[in-house]
Structure 1
Amino acid sequence: MDRIALHTKVARGKEAEYAAAHDAIPTELVDALREAGVHTWRIWRDGQELFHVIECDDYAHMRNFLRDHPANVPWQARMSELLEVEDDYSGGDRGIVQVWELPDV
């Protein structure tokens, strides 16, 4: 299983809209994420900074699966209105590099 951390940035003044959008994730998108192998996706916000942690079967597969998915395309269009977007949704990224993790006992 892949655990990926991502960093994105909400556009200035769009923080409340971003939060509101995430209060009502479309069921079709949740179903598509599950079908793509996503187990968990958590997002934290500090000001404009967003930090995501995703646990999924295969991150590259998930990104490729969702790229043209009919539930994801309108969601990404909406997010592009709310985020400072630099991502082309290619699935080629590997997220933030992990530096350390508390070892299992």
Structure 2
Amino acid sequence: MNRIALHTVLREGAQEQYDRVHATIPTELRAALIEAGVHQWRIWRDGVHLFHLVDVEDYRAMRDALRDHPANVPWQARMAELLAVADDYSGTDDGLGLVWELTPRDDRPAA
């Protein structure tokens, strides 16, 4: 399982529209994401900055599976209208690099 963090940037003024579009993800796209190995996809927004956390079986395989998927192509076209830089969906990226992570210490008793 991969946990991938992503950062994308909206065009100025597209924040409310982006939120509205994401209020209801098309059923076909949801099914395609799950079929491509996505277990969970969360997005946080701070102004025009979007931070994604994706739990997926294989990130690059997911990108490959969705690149030309009939449910994803129109979705990506819609997102391209809202993003400052459109995603080329090449699937060659690995997301953001992990800098630091807090993990529970094994030597402490459970509360």
Aligned residues: 105
Q: Percent identity?
A: 62
Q: Residues of 2 paired with 1:79 and 1:62: CA distance?
A: 18
Written as runs of structure 1 = structure 2, the 5 A alignment for 1:14-53 is 14-53=14-53
What stretches of structure 1 of length at least 5 have no aligned partner? Answer: none
Quick one: which amino acid aligns to residue 46 of structure 2?
Answer: D
Question: Alignment RMSD, CA only?
Answer: 0.9
Calculate the TM-score normalised by the size of structure 2: 0.91
Question: Over residues 42-93 of structure 1, what are the superposed CA-to-partner deviations in whole Å (9 max), with x where a residue is unaligned?
Answer: 0000000000000000000000000000000000000000111243110000
- Secondary structure of residue in 1 paired with 2:95: coil
8 Å contact from structure 2 (residues 42, 52) kept in 1: yes
Quick one: which amino acid aligns to residue 87 of structure 2?
Answer: D
Q: Residues of 1 paired with 2:50 and 2:33: CA distance?
A: 19
Written as runs of structure 1 = structure 2, the 5 A alignment for 1:3-14 is 3-14=3-14
Q: Residues of 2 paired with 1:19 and 1:36: CA distance?
A: 24
Structure 1 or 2, whichever has the larger Rg, is 2
